[in-house]
Amino acid sequence: MSEGNKKGELGRIEDFIALAKEGKDVKVAIDLKKQLVTQKVHPENTNDVKREIDMYLLMAHYTFRAEEEVNQVSKVYMFSFSEESQDTLKVNTTIANSRLKIDYERLKDAKITFEEKYF
């Protein structure tokens, strides 16, 4: 492995792209999720907002297989408030898919095999 990718330090998509560019056989399975979360608002920061705000994250969980190692990497592609309109949800999903497509192109350029999925 390259100096920047020593064993145990494979925690980013870029690390696996670098391995593939070095000639290693890298494969990835991608699982997309819409994860609901609650953000707590500190009471001193606001007077008119609820103390908890429901939000969602559009995330991709990557399971990389590089030779005998299996590593997981998660990446958030969009976050927003749950109470937003359907139009806003559509816009956010389009933005998340555009960002995801950029990462897919980077993986393809490194000759990493995977199945494309979108939110």
- Residue 15 falls within a domain, yes or no? yes
Q: What is the mean pLDDT of the segment spanning 55-74?
A: 95
Contacts of 62 (CB under 8 A, 6+ apart): 13, 16, 28, 29, 30, 72, 73, 74, 75
Worst-scoring range by mean pLDDT, 27-36, 43-52, 78-87? 43-52
- Residue 114 falls within a domain, yes or no? no
- Residue 21 falls within a domain, yes or no? yes
Residue 42 has pLDDT above 80, yes or no: no
Better-predicted residue by pLDDT, 11 or 13: 13
Q: What is the mean pLDDT of the segment spanning 33-54?
A: 76
- Residue 20 falls within a domain, yes or no? yes
- Residue 118 falls within a domain, yes or no? no
- Residue 117 falls within a domain, yes or no? no
Q: Count how many domains the chain has.
A: 1
Structural domain harbouring 95: 3-109
What does the pLDDT read at residue 68?
87
Segment of 51-55, 58-62, 81-85 carrying the highest mean pLDDT: 58-62
